[in-house]
Chains A and B, each alone.
Chain A
């Protein structure tokens, strides 16, 4: 499986306070030219022909991908049909959108692309997410809820990412209840805020605070998981630590070097979406290289070596190694200035498991092979 975080534009109609893209003066606010878009599908076809056992997941990201308009997505489908005749059944599209621009004109093309659900984000209680230069949070909420309802009526589901900041910490349960009441059929993913620098340090949280935030919610989710949607990171930890069925997101997999790519509007390859936003791990242009070539880039190789190195150094003997692998390399870079170190957020996972997960799960059911009865996850696109 390969996943490309595909930013055909970095323009956005929102100005969320913690977004690295919209506050980046170098962000590319135009659309990726059709010439490049076409080449993108040529490269995908090459990759899938070279690796017939693989699939390619395209996560339309941004900026706000709906700013591209339905015609742009139609052009993408045209190029896909033209260049991927033998491989298009292995191409899976996701859209990560704030949904506020969704309208019925997108429905036909999204259905043709095989899209069934959206990954989105929402924040009910703070004004950190807002539309336009004025960061209008109320307008954002109004448009989001109306568009989400429309998307449901048009036959789409949606899952959401909630970014936990300092402002979230004292309302963990309220936030959780709000999100699952608003969208009882969709998945929720709690992510800690990731800051590239210290300009928003008042929003930053410590690993311990993130663990406590999750810990305030987990007992309720665990007790009522039969009637609540899939919530990450809970579901993933239950699968792994209780069910013995490991399926890890990019940050924890230890093999994101094998699976992830980022593609910027100007055709530059990056390691992933976050590396694009942080301007790290630039692998050169799609004009010059294909996916397979990028996979063999020495810096991708270095990321593979990171996993091997951490297993022998920073993370040696850690009982959570198989569930973490040192975490996101970019977070490692943020912690120490080197990709070869573990993320500081691993402490939050350890704290959460010891303080909240194990006592709760062991109090209700014996670990391993417990019948977990949760609704299936609706995929949220990776951030």
Chain B
């Protein structure tokens, strides 16, 4: 069994109980970012990132110069007033930071703006009322726009990991992939996603879960195959390799997500063709 990366709440004694693990440490206050990063770095583990869960919008977060060099994932509900963001932009851009927002329509718009001014972003969409058209515009911008912009996940993650001959579970862009990540609470209980950790839906303590490959982990990793067993509409969707059935709406109609993921696959085809063409047509140079 491969050793999972861990997502833990900041607790020095918890971190100290592990060794040789890659750890993402969660804090809920900007003032704890440096301390949490230091706790991991000074343990026998390595730092994946610090996850700063902010209840405030990005514009209200006090970015500190000491954060420089620390990989930070800022989870915020929104961007807030842009005029306020603008004032902190110069220092924000010096940080090793990614801003992650839920996929409301305002956030889809704001992520594009943040990206255009050089801030790396993530937009989280996990079913529910996703505006697939708006998301599709953002995806097209993220993958095809030739003007300068910072990366936008999960689109950047997907484009880096896409392989036409495999399914792609891109939950890893949000640290949600049971094959790679375990989410822990302070008692070392394991959840298989951030939302399950939040809802305290644990599958057991990490020592037990890792002793032998847990059937629950296996079941979760293979959950996509239920689409085929139950002949769900997703099983015959052109976009399946990228969505793996995770957006099947309750009414069973998958028009929005199907068009979205099919379009993304088409874009990868176009990008592949462009890349091949440009490599063939490259002129000689000194």
Whether A375 lies near B165 (C-beta < 8 A) is yes
In the bound complex, residues from chain B placing their C-beta under 8 Å from that of A226 are 164, 269, 272
Counting chain B CB atoms within 10 Å of each CB, the highest count among A124, A142, A229 belongs to: A124
**A residues in contact with B222, CB < 8 Å:** 146, 149
B236 within 8 A of A: yes
Contact A145 B229 (CB under 8 A): yes
Give the contacts of B222-243 with A (CB-CB under 8 A): 222, 225, 228-229, 231, 235-238, 240-241
Distance of A174 Cα from B231 Cα, bound (Å) = 11
Check B164–A177 contact: CB distance below 8 A: no
Q: Tell me the B164-178 residues at the A interface (CB within 8 Å).
A: 164-167
| A178: interface (CB < 8 Å) | yes
What's the minimum C-beta distance from B66 to chain A, rounded to whole angstroms? 44
Given A124-B228, A178-B236: A184 and B166 interface contact (C-beta under 8 Å): yes
Is residue A182 contacting chain B, with contact meaning CB distance below 8 A?
A: yes
In the complex, A355 has a CB within 8 A of chain B? no
Query: Does A246 touch B at the CB level, under 8 Å?
Result: no
The reply to whether A228 and B237 contact each other, CB–CB distance below 8 Å, is: no
CA distance A13 to B229 in the complex (A): 20
Does B73 reach chain A (CB closer than 8 Å)?
A: no
The chain B residue with its CB closest to the CB of A148 is: B225
Counting contact residues on chain B (CB < 8 A from A), the size range is 10 to 19
Interface digits, B180-195 against A, CB 8 Å rule (1 contact, 0 not)?
Answer: 0000000000000000
> Chain A binding site: helix, strand, loop or mixed by DSSP?
helix
- Interface status of A190 (Cβ within 8 A of chain B): no
Contacts of A182 in B (CB 8 A): 225, 228, 235
Q: Would you call A125 an interface residue if the criterion is a C-beta within 8 Å of the partner chain's C-beta atoms?
A: yes
Which listed residue (A124, A173, A229) contacts B235, Cβ 8 A?
Answer: A124
Contact A184 B241 (CB under 8 A): yes
In the complex, chain B residues whose CB is within 8 Å of the CB of A184: 164-167, 241
* Cβ of A97 to closest chain B Cβ, rounded Å: 19
Docked pose: A139 CA to B228 CA in angstroms: 13
Contacts known (A141-B229, A145-B225); A174 close to B236, Cβ less than 8 A: yes
**CB of A181 within 8 Å of the partner chain:** yes
A142 to B231, CA, bound (A): 12
Q: Does A354 contact B (CB under 8 A)?
A: no
- Chain B residues contacting A142 (CB-CB under 8 Å) are 229
State in angstroms the CA–CA spacing of A146 and B265 once bound together.
27
Known: A141-B229, A149-B225. A181 touches B235 (CB 8 A): yes
Are B228 and A178 closer than 8 Å at their CB atoms? yes
Q: Which residues of B contact A224 (CB under 8 A)?
A: 269
Cβ A178 vs Cβ B235 within 8 A? yes
Question: Given the complex, which residues of A lie within 8 Å of B265, measured CB to CB?
Answer: 227
- Per CB-CB distance, the 9 closest pairs between chain A and chain B, nearest first, are A227-B164, A181-B240, A177-B236, A185-B165, A174-B236, A145-B225, A182-B228, A178-B236, A178-B235
Q: Provide 16 A-B residue pairs closer than 8 Å at the C-beta atoms, listed in order of the A residue.
A: A125-B231, A142-B229, A146-B222, A149-B225, A177-B235, A177-B238, A178-B228, A181-B236, A184-B164, A184-B166, A184-B241, A226-B164, A226-B269, A227-B164, A228-B164, A375-B165
Give B contacts to A, CB under 8 Å.
164-167, 222, 225, 228-229, 231, 235-238, 240-241, 265, 268-269, 272
